[in-house]
Homo-oligomer: A and B are copies of this chain.
Amino acid sequence: MYSVENTWKEIRDAGVQIAVIAIGAIEQHGHHLPLGTDWFQVDHVARRLAEKLDAFYCPAMPYGNSWEHQRFPGSLSLRPETLAAVLRDIVLCLRDHGISKIVVVNGHGANWILKPTVRQLNYDYPDLTIIWSNGVNPEDGGEPPVEIHSGLSETSRMMYLRPDLVKDEGVVNSPGIVGQEFLDYVGFDRVTKTGAWGCPADGATPERGEEILDASVESSARYVRWAFARIEEFKSQPSVVERDRVPGRESQEES
């Protein structure tokens, strides 16, 4: 493994092919774990991964997007666009140095911005291959999703909705052969037969489409009504930050 403990000459002479970038987060982790938990862990995991891959290990970025924790003292967040810019800048420097295979290890679930950023970088710079450190590996027993796009379900829905727009030709089954994260790496034109990922040939009908749509509206309406009520409930209660300042309260909650 190479890292910033090396000199530039060592990096150059090694002819490194792969770089690993870890992205952490600084955010509250309850009463028992430290603010830096995500950063510490992703640094550990990513470093070991870089060792296995004999890669160049870039310093783990401590800060991520943790606005959902912002009310807790000590949580430190970047705005999504800032984190995107940090990743983009590092990736383009690596590209400058001839390193075009880059693994992103994300240490925090809410760093959502990384998803569109990695995808956009792969499409904007086709000479780069930026991948996630985790995903579905079919050769390792993983199950690629059968349907994602223009499959049985979506075809049925369109047969109900706009039958005039559904063609008879080209209704070809093309079930998933890799995980959905591959769409961050290459386009549908690489991983499908017609652009559709799914099994529209397995008996799509307008009736099935109507059912799915009805169910979708029903469940959406149910959820929305419930969610507005629940949020109101949450917002009307004191926040935990204030709540557990009340002496004796916490033990009661445990009972």
Which of A31, A112, A117 counts the most B-chain CB atoms under 10 A from its CB? A31
Query: Which residue of B7, B139, B193, B235 contacts A29 across the interface (Cβ within 8 Å)?
Result: B7
Q: Are B5 and A186 in contact (CB under 8 A)?
A: no
Q: In whole angstroms, what is the CA distance A227 to B223 when docked?
A: 37
Q: Are A253 and B94 in contact (CB under 8 A)?
A: no
Residues of B within 8 A of A178 (CB): 230
What residue of chain B has the Cβ atom nearest to residue A52's Cβ? B221
* Tally of A interface residues using CB under 8 Å: 146
Which of A7, A29, A56 counts the most B-chain CB atoms under 10 A from its CB? A7
Query: Which residue of B31, B117, B158 contacts A40 across the interface (Cβ within 8 Å)?
Result: B158
Q: Assuming A139-B226, A223-B137, is B71 touching A31 (CB within 8 A)?
A: no
Q: Which residues from 149 to 202 on chain A have a C-beta closer than 8 Å to any C-beta of chain B?
A: 149-150, 154-155, 157-158, 161-162, 165-174, 178, 182-196, 200
Q: In whole angstroms, what is the CA distance A18 to B52 when docked?
A: 41
Query: Which residue of B35, B67, B227 contacts A119 across the interface (Cβ within 8 Å)?
Result: B67
Q: Which residues from 5 to 39 on chain A have a C-beta closer than 8 Å to any C-beta of chain B?
A: 5-9, 11-12, 18, 26, 28-37, 39
| A122, chain B: closest CB distance, angstroms | 8
Residues of B within 8 A of A62 (CB): 4, 59-62
Residues of B within 8 A of A139 (CB): 226
Q: In whole angstroms, what is the CA distance A11 to B241 when docked?
A: 12
Q: Are B36 and A9 in contact (CB under 8 A)?
A: no
Chain A interfacial positions (CB closer than 8 Å to B): 2-9, 11-12, 18, 26, 28-37, 39-41, 44-45, 48-49, 52-53, 56, 58-63, 65, 67-82, 85-86, 89-90, 93-94, 96-98, 101, 103, 105, 109-110, 112-113, 115-117, 119-120, 123, 129, 131, 133-135, 137, 139-140, 148-150, 154-155, 157-158, 161-162, 165-174, 178, 182-196, 200, 213, 216-217, 219-228, 230-231, 234-235, 237, 239-241, 244, 250, 253-254
